[in-house]
Amino acid sequence: MKAELPPLEAELRRHDRERFLTALFAPAGAREALMALYGFNLEVARVRESVREPMLGQIRLQWWREGIEEAYLGTARQRHELLSILGPTIKSQGLSRSHFDRLIDARELDLAPEPPADMAALEAYCRDTAASLVWLALEILDAATPPARKAGEHIGIAYALTGLVRAIPFQARAGKVFLSKDQEHPAPEYLAEIAALAERHLAEARALRREVPSAALPALLQAGIAAHHLKRLRHSGYDAFDRRMLAPDGMLAGRLGLAALMRRY
Question: Residue 46 domain-assigned?
Answer: yes
Question: Residue 127 domain-assigned?
Answer: yes
Q: Give the mean pLDDT of 33-55.
A: 94
What is the pLDDT at residue 1? 45
Mean pLDDT of the residues in the chain: 93
Domains of the chain: total: 1
Contacts of 27 (CB under 8 A, 6+ apart): 141
Q: Give the mean pLDDT of 180-198.
A: 87
Residue 52 maps to which CATH number? 1.10.600.10
Quick: pLDDT tens for 87-96.
999 999 999 9
Question: Residue 26 domain-assigned?
Answer: yes
Q: Can you give the residue range of the structural domain that contains 239?
A: 17-251
Confidence band of 184 (pLDDT split at 50, 70, 90): low
Question: Residue 134 domain-assigned?
Answer: yes
Question: Residue 163 domain-assigned?
Answer: yes
Question: Residue 259 domain-assigned?
Answer: no
Quick: pLDDT tens for 214-243.
999 999 999 999 999 999 999 999 999 999
Question: Residue 132 domain-assigned?
Answer: yes
Contacts of 226 (CB under 8 A, 6+ apart): 155, 158, 159, 161, 162, 198, 202
Quick: pLDDT tens for 65-100.
999 999 998 876 667 888 889 999 999 999 999 999
Question: Residue 116 domain-assigned?
Answer: yes
Whether the per-residue pLDDT at 183 is higher than 70: the answer is: no
